[in-house]
Protein backbone atom coordinates (compact mmCIF):
# COMPACT_ATOMS: atom_id res chain seq x y z
CA UNK A 1 0.00 0.00 0.00
CA UNK A 2 1.31 3.46 -0.88
CA UNK A 3 1.92 5.81 2.00
CA UNK A 4 -0.04 9.02 1.94
CA UNK A 5 1.81 12.24 1.27
CA UNK A 6 0.36 13.66 4.48
CA UNK A 7 2.17 10.93 6.44
CA UNK A 8 5.44 11.81 4.74
CA UNK A 9 5.72 15.60 4.53
CA UNK A 10 9.11 15.32 2.86
CA UNK A 11 7.28 14.02 -0.23
CA UNK A 12 5.11 17.14 -0.43
CA UNK A 13 5.99 19.86 -2.85
CA UNK A 14 6.88 23.28 -1.49
CA UNK A 15 3.55 24.55 -2.78
CA UNK A 16 1.65 21.87 -0.87
CA UNK A 17 3.56 22.65 2.34
CA UNK A 18 2.86 26.38 2.06
CA UNK A 19 -0.79 25.73 1.26
CA UNK A 20 -1.10 23.44 4.28
CA UNK A 21 0.58 25.99 6.53
CA UNK A 22 -1.64 28.80 5.23
CA UNK A 23 -4.84 26.78 5.72
CA UNK A 24 -3.73 25.80 9.22
CA UNK A 25 -3.05 29.48 10.01
CA UNK A 26 -6.51 30.52 8.76
CA UNK A 27 -8.20 27.88 10.90
CA UNK A 28 -6.19 28.93 13.98
CA UNK A 29 -7.41 32.50 13.46
CA UNK A 30 -10.96 31.18 13.14
CA UNK A 31 -10.49 29.12 16.33
CA UNK A 32 -9.35 32.21 18.25
CA UNK A 33 -12.28 34.16 16.79
CA UNK A 34 -14.67 31.55 18.21
CA UNK A 35 -13.14 32.09 21.67
CA UNK A 36 -13.65 35.89 21.60
CA UNK A 37 -17.10 35.87 23.27
CA UNK A 38 -15.79 33.86 26.21
CA UNK A 39 -12.69 36.05 26.49
CA UNK A 40 -14.91 39.17 26.38
CA UNK A 41 -17.18 37.73 29.08
CA UNK A 42 -14.24 36.95 31.35
CA UNK A 43 -12.78 40.43 30.75
CA UNK A 44 -16.15 42.01 31.52
CA UNK A 45 -16.51 39.98 34.74
CA UNK A 46 -13.00 40.98 35.82
CA UNK A 47 -13.68 44.63 34.93
CA UNK A 48 -11.06 44.84 32.21
CA UNK A 49 -12.30 47.68 30.05
CA UNK A 50 -9.23 49.88 30.21
CA UNK A 51 -7.97 48.74 26.78
CA UNK A 52 -11.28 49.59 25.14
CA UNK A 53 -11.35 52.98 26.83
CA UNK A 54 -7.79 53.90 25.83
CA UNK A 55 -7.75 52.47 22.31
CA UNK A 56 -11.30 53.06 21.03
CA UNK A 57 -12.90 55.82 23.07
CA UNK A 58 -9.82 58.03 23.41
CA UNK A 59 -8.41 57.22 19.96
CA UNK A 60 -5.28 55.36 21.05
CA UNK A 61 -5.41 53.23 17.93
CA UNK A 62 -4.29 56.28 15.93
CA UNK A 63 -1.04 56.46 17.91
CA UNK A 64 -0.65 52.72 17.49
CA UNK A 65 -1.07 53.00 13.72
CA UNK A 66 1.40 55.91 13.67
CA UNK A 67 4.09 53.85 15.46
CA UNK A 68 3.35 50.63 13.57
CA UNK A 69 5.79 51.38 10.70
CA UNK A 70 8.64 51.92 13.18
CA UNK A 71 7.84 48.67 14.98
CA UNK A 72 7.61 46.86 11.66
CA UNK A 73 10.97 48.26 10.59
CA UNK A 74 12.58 47.07 13.84
CA UNK A 75 11.09 43.57 13.48
CA UNK A 76 12.21 43.33 9.85
CA UNK A 77 15.72 44.55 10.77
CA UNK A 78 16.02 41.99 13.57
CA UNK A 79 14.74 39.26 11.25
CA UNK A 80 17.22 40.30 8.55
CA UNK A 81 20.08 40.26 11.06
CA UNK A 82 19.10 36.76 12.18
CA UNK A 83 18.95 35.56 8.57
CA UNK A 84 22.33 37.13 7.80
CA UNK A 85 23.80 35.56 10.96
CA UNK A 86 22.40 32.17 9.94
CA UNK A 87 23.83 32.43 6.41
CA UNK A 88 27.20 33.51 7.84
CA UNK A 89 27.26 30.48 10.15
CA UNK A 90 26.22 28.16 7.33
CA UNK A 91 29.13 29.41 5.23
CA UNK A 92 31.57 29.36 8.13
CA UNK A 93 30.81 25.84 9.37
CA UNK A 94 29.89 24.14 6.09
CA UNK A 95 31.59 20.76 5.97
CA UNK A 96 32.93 21.01 9.53
CA UNK A 97 31.25 18.68 12.00
CA UNK A 98 31.96 20.09 15.44
CA UNK A 99 29.86 17.62 17.37
CA UNK A 100 31.78 14.72 18.81
CA UNK A 101 30.48 11.20 18.58
CA UNK A 102 29.58 9.40 21.78
CA UNK A 103 31.79 6.38 22.22
CA UNK A 104 30.07 3.16 23.26
CA UNK A 105 30.45 2.23 26.91
CA UNK A 106 31.32 -1.37 27.76
CA UNK A 107 29.93 -3.34 30.68
CA UNK A 108 33.10 -3.10 32.73
CA UNK A 109 32.94 0.71 32.67
CA UNK A 110 29.29 0.65 33.75
CA UNK A 111 30.04 -1.91 36.48
CA UNK A 112 32.95 0.18 37.77
CA UNK A 113 30.86 3.33 37.83
CA UNK A 114 27.99 1.76 39.78
CA UNK A 115 30.34 -0.45 41.85
CA UNK A 116 28.60 -3.72 40.91
CA UNK A 117 29.83 -7.11 39.72
CA UNK A 118 30.14 -7.22 35.88
CA UNK A 119 28.63 -10.73 35.81
CA UNK A 120 25.55 -9.53 37.72
CA UNK A 121 25.30 -6.54 35.38
CA UNK A 122 25.19 -8.94 32.42
CA UNK A 123 22.39 -10.92 34.11
CA UNK A 124 20.45 -7.73 34.74
CA UNK A 125 20.79 -6.70 31.10
CA UNK A 126 19.24 -10.00 30.00
CA UNK A 127 16.30 -9.72 32.43
CA UNK A 128 12.90 -8.60 31.18
CA UNK A 129 11.81 -6.70 34.32
CA UNK A 130 13.95 -5.17 37.05
CA UNK A 131 13.23 -3.03 40.06
CA UNK A 132 16.34 -0.98 40.84
CA UNK A 133 16.63 0.72 44.22
CA UNK A 134 19.03 3.67 44.35
CA UNK A 135 20.60 5.47 47.29
CA UNK A 136 20.74 9.24 47.80
CA UNK A 137 23.78 9.53 45.54
CA UNK A 138 22.17 7.65 42.66
CA UNK A 139 24.18 4.47 43.21
CA UNK A 140 22.54 1.04 42.99
CA UNK A 141 21.45 -0.17 46.43
CA UNK A 142 19.63 -3.36 45.36
CA UNK A 143 18.12 -4.96 42.26
CA UNK A 144 15.13 -7.29 42.14
CA UNK A 145 14.23 -9.39 39.11
CA UNK A 146 10.48 -9.75 38.74
CA UNK A 147 7.98 -11.16 36.30
CA UNK A 148 5.01 -9.24 34.96
CA UNK A 149 2.58 -11.17 37.17
CA UNK A 150 4.32 -10.26 40.44
CA UNK A 151 3.01 -7.34 42.45
CA UNK A 152 5.42 -4.43 42.58
CA UNK A 153 4.52 -3.47 46.11
CA UNK A 154 5.69 0.06 46.77
CA UNK A 155 6.77 1.45 43.40
CA UNK A 156 8.32 4.56 44.92
CA UNK A 157 11.11 2.89 46.89
Provide the pLDDT for residue 151. Answer: 55
Residue 33 included in any domain: yes
Query: Residue 156 falls within a domain, yes or no?
Result: no
Angle at 33 between CA 36 and CA 41, to 5 degrees: 5
Residues 95 and 113 in one domain: no
* DSSP single-letter state for residue 100: P
Indicate whether 157 belongs to any domain.
no
Give the count of domains, the chain: 3
Last residue of some domain: 29, 48, 67?
48
Can you tell me the distance from the alpha carbon of 9 to that of 16, in angstroms, rounded to the nearest whole number? 9
pLDDT tens, the chain, 157 aa long: 555 545 667 777 889 889 989 999 999 999 998 888 888 888 877 777 777 777 777 777 788 888 899 999 999 999 999 999 999 999 988 888 777 888 888 989 989 988 889 999 888 888 888 898 988 888 888 888 877 666 555 554 4
pLDDT at 153: 54
What is the per-residue pLDDT for 157? 45
Phi, psi torsion values for 3, nearest 5 degrees: -80, 145
Give the model's pLDDT for residue 84: 97
Residue 63's pLDDT is what? Answer: 82
Q: Does 72 reside within a domain?
A: yes
Structure confidence at residue 150 (pLDDT): 62
Kindly give, in sequence order, each residue whose CB lies less than 8 Å from that of residue 5, ignoring residues fewer than 6 positions away.
11, 12, 16
Does any domain span residue 131?
yes
Q: How many Å apart are CA 32 and CA 27, to the nearest integer?
A: 9
> Which range of residues forms the domain containing residue 62?
58-99
Q: Say if residue 116 is in the same domain as residue 84.
A: no
Residue 82 is predicted with a pLDDT of 97
pLDDT of residue 7: 64
Amino acid sequence: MNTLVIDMPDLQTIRQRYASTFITFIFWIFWFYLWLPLISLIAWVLGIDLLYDRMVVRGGYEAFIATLPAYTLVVVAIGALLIIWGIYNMQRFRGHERRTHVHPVDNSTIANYFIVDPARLGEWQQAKNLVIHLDELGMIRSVEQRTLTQQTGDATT
